[in-house]
């Protein structure tokens, strides 16, 4: 009886330890990986190396910034969404568009543990900026109108200077009827990162596709029953001038 009790107490401690592991230890491990990826990307850009037209699997090729999460919030974006890659930071769905291209650039990231890059994704509002930096450009995407904002957009949010280049996609083409700023879907909706979200690949020719950036993470927090999807649209694009950095960009787009 006494041994049985001790085994139960031990199992309880192991479960507690697992919570500590999941919430803290994985963050430490991921922070280390992220630091290394960030330094690698930095030196690669500094040397202006363009050895590979296509990003290598599991290697950083871009950087993501979300100004509303703080001026110092940024992560490298790696190619691929497998477990090992997402431990480093957000990952790019390989088959989806590259930064700035028409179509849909899909990026997945953890919401709990593993550095939790997308921990606060639910706090994003329409018109909040999401910036992607590549070797030579900054691409500024802004979160699309939410489902309940679409109807009164022109008379409401549209007047906000942040929303200057944001409009509901619903106005333009029926193809984008389901593309809102935030959508909750089941995990099998791989078409959330399709060129036109939730539509077959060939619904629109590439030339008439909007340039979207889609972020995916787990939902509700601590569960993987569903996925939270954030859709944003390309509003500006800046060639990186000599010496220009992210802070200059923030001033330029009115976020600082």
Partner 1 sequence: MYGWIWRHLPGPLAVRVALAAVLVLGAVALLMFVVFPWAEPMLPFNDVSVEGQ
Helix (H) or strand (E) holding 61: strand 60-65
Overall size of the chain counted in residues: 256
One of 8, 11, 12, 18 touching partner 1 (CB under 8 A): 18
User: Could you say which residues in the range 95-124 bind partner 1, by CB under 8 A?
Assistant: 108-114, 118
| Per-position x/- string for 186-205, each x denoting binding to partner 1 as judged by CB under 8 A, each - no binding | -xxxxxxxx-----------
Tell the smallest beta-carbon distance from residue 148 to partner 1 (Å).
Answer: 23
Which residues fall within 8 angstroms of residue 216, CB to CB, at 6 or more apart?
A: 106, 107, 108, 109, 192, 193, 227, 228, 229, 230
Q: How far is it between the farthest Cα atoms of the chain? A: 74
Which residues fall within 8 angstroms of residue 96, CB to CB, at 6 or more apart?
A: 103, 104, 105, 106, 193, 195, 214
The separation between CA 72 and the C-alpha centre of its own chain, rounded to angstroms, equals 16
In this complex, which beta carbon is closest to partner 1, that of residue 32 or of residue 245? Answer: 32
DSSP state at residue 170: G
In this complex, which beta carbon is closest to partner 1, that of residue 21 or of residue 73? Answer: 21
Q: Does 222 bind partner 1 (CB under 8 A)?
A: yes
Tell the smallest beta-carbon distance from residue 191 to partner 1 (Å).
Answer: 6
CA distances from 42 to 2, 70, 133, 144, 225 (A): 58, 21, 11, 30, 36
Q: Does 180 bind partner 1 (CB under 8 A)?
A: no
Q: Does 59 bind partner 1 (CB under 8 A)?
A: no
Angle made by CA atoms 209, 210, 211, in degrees to the nearest 5: 115
d(CA 65, CA 38): 13
Among the residue ranges 6-14, 54-62, 159-167, 241-249, the one whose residues contact partner 1 (CB under 8 A): 6-14
| Per-position x/- string for 72-91, each x denoting binding to partner 1 as judged by CB under 8 A, each - no binding | ---------x-x--x----x
Among the residue ranges 126-134, 146-154, 173-181, 220-228, the one whose residues contact partner 1 (CB under 8 A): 220-228
Among the residue ranges 31-39, 61-69, 212-220, 239-247, the one whose residues contact partner 1 (CB under 8 A): 212-220
Tell the smallest beta-carbon distance from residue 124 to partner 1 (Å).
Answer: 16
Residues near partner 1 (CB under 8 A) are 3, 6-7, 10, 14, 17-18, 21-22, 25, 81, 83, 86, 91, 93, 108-114, 118, 185, 187-194, 216-218, 222-224, 227, 229
């Amino acid at each position: 009886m006494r041994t049985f009790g001790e085994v139960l107490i031990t199992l309880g401690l192991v479960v507690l330890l697992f919570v500590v592991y999941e919430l803290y230890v994985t963050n430490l491990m991921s922070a280390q990986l992220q630091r290394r990826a960030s330094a690698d990307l930095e030196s690669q850009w500094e040397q202006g190396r363009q050895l590979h037209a296509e990003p290598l699997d599991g290697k950083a090729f871009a950087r993501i910034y979300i100004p509303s999460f703080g001026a110092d919030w940024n992560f490298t974006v790696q190619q691929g969404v497998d477990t090992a890659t997402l431990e480093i930071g957000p990952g790019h769905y390989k088959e989806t568009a590259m930064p700035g291209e028409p179509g849909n650039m899909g990026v997945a990231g953890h919401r709990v543990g593993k550095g939790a890059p997308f921990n606060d994704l639910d706090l994003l509002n329409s018109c909040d900026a999401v910036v992607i930096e590549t070797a030579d450009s900054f691409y500024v995407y802004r979160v699309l109108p939410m489902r309940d904002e679409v109807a009164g957009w022109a008379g409401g949010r549209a007047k906000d200077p942040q929303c200057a280049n944001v409009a509901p996609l619903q106005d333009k083409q029926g193809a984008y009827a389901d593309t809102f700023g935030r959508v909750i879907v089941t995990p099998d909706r791989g078409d959330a990162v399709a060129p036109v979200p939730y539509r077959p690949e060939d619904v629109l020719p590439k030339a008439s596709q909007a340039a979207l950036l889609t972020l995916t993470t787990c939902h509700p927090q601590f569960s993987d029953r569903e996925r939270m999807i954030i859709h944003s649209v390309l509003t500006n694009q800046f060639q990186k001038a000599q010496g220009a950095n992210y802070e200059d960009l923030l001033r330029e787009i009115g976020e600082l």
